[in-house]
Amino acid sequence: MPLLYSRSESVGRMTFDFPEKKNALDQDARKEMERIVTQVRDDDRVRALLITGAGGAFCAGGDISTFAGSSPVAMRDRMKQQHRVTRMLYDLEKPVVAAVAGPAFGVGFNIALLADVILAAPSARFCQAYARVAIVPDGGGLYLLARTVGTQRAKAMFLTAQVIDAQEAHDLGIVHAIHEEDVLDAEADALAARLAEGPTRAFGLGKSMLNRGMDCDFATYLEIEATAEAHIPAPAAGADTARSSSMMTQSRAESCRMIFRSEPTFRAIADMLRPCFFKSWIKTISLSPFTCLPLSVARSGHQACIPRQRQFRINEVRNCP
C-alpha cells in the first residue's frame, strides 16, 4: 500500500511510503488516506496522530500522471474525495503532528497545514506548486495558508510557486520547531506521545473553537467558548488532571435537546460548530440565510437572542444543567 498505518499505545502513525515518486499521491493513496483518518477518528484508543513521509520526502503533491486529461466529472469526483479527507483532518478532535523532511509540495504542503503542529528537518521545503502546472490549489490550501501567513503572502506564494525552506517556514509561523534530520522522528514521536497523554476532549473543543472562530464575530466566538467550557467538567480533587480533564461528561451534553421554532435560522451555526459539542446535543436547528449569528444558549423559558431584534423562542429544553 502507498500509505502505512500503525499504532503505538495512544499514538497513530500515518506514513506516506512510495519514495520512488517522492510520496506523490495517486487516487489509491487518497482513498487509503481517507480510510486511515476515518480509523483514527473512530478509534478511542488513538489520542493523537503523527503524519510522516518515508524516503527523504514528506509528500511531493499529487501524482499528475494519474489525472492528466481527466474529464471535468472525473476531476470533480477526485476533488470531492480529497475534500472528505481534508475536512476529516481539519475537524479531527485529536492532536495532529506533522514531521516534515524533504519536499512538502502542492497537496503535501496542504496536508502539513492541516496538522496542529509541524516539526521540520533542515531539508524541509514547502511550495504551493500549482502554478507550475496551471491548476488551482486543492486540499483547502489557500484557505489554510492565508490563515497562517496572511492573504497577501499566500497570494504571492501561490502566484510565484515560491519554494521556502525550513527556516523561512519557521519565521512565517508555519513550522513550530526545526530538528536535525536524525532526531526529527524521535522528537515528533515524543511530542505526539505527550499530546496523547493530555486532555483530549479539551484539545478537540479548543481546536474547533480556533477553526470556527476565524469565521465568526467576537460575540459568537464567546458563546462558543462559554458553552465549551460548561461541558468540560472540573477535575476532582486529587485526580490526575490530564486524564480527568480529558473526559467529557457525555450525559450532560446528550441530555440537552433544543428545538428552535421560527423561520429558518441557525443551521449555519450548527454547521459552524460541527463536529464539536453542539452536534451531540442540538436535536434540530433550523436554517438561516445569515452566517455566524451570536446565540445565547438559554435555559427553559428563556429566549435565544440574536441581532436585528429577532427573537427565537426555545421550544424545548430537557434536563439542561
What are the pLDDT digits (tens) for 1-60?
579 999 999 999 999 999 889 999 888 898 999 999 999 999 999 999 999 999 999 999
Q: How many C-beta atoms lie closer than 10 Å to residue 288's C-beta?
A: 20
Sequence spans of domains, the chain: 3-196, 200-316
Confidence of residue 270 (pLDDT cuts 50, 70, 90): very low
Give the domain 3-196 fold. Answer: 2-enoyl-CoA Hydratase; Chain A, domain 1 (3.90.226)
Instruction: Note the pLDDT tens digit of each residue in 71-130.
Output: 777 777 777 888 899 999 999 999 999 999 999 999 999 999 999 999 999 999 999 999
Confidence of residue 297 (pLDDT cuts 50, 70, 90): very low
- Strands of 117-120's sheet, edge to edge? 3-8, 11-16, 48-53, 96-100, 117-120, 177-178
Helix, strand and coil content of the chain, in percent to the nearest 5, comes to: 45, 15, 40
Instruction: Note the pLDDT tens digit of each residue in 113-122.
Output: 999 999 999 9
Average pLDDT, the chain: 77
3-state DSSP call for residue 229? helix
**Candidate from 34-38, 180-184, 209-213 with smallest mean pLDDT:** 209-213
Instruction: Note the pLDDT tens digit of each residue in 306-321.
Output: 333 333 333 333 333 3
Q: What is the value of pTM for the model shown?
A: 0.72
Per-residue pLDDT at 246 exceeds 60: no
Of 12 and 302, the structure prediction assigns the larger pLDDT to 12
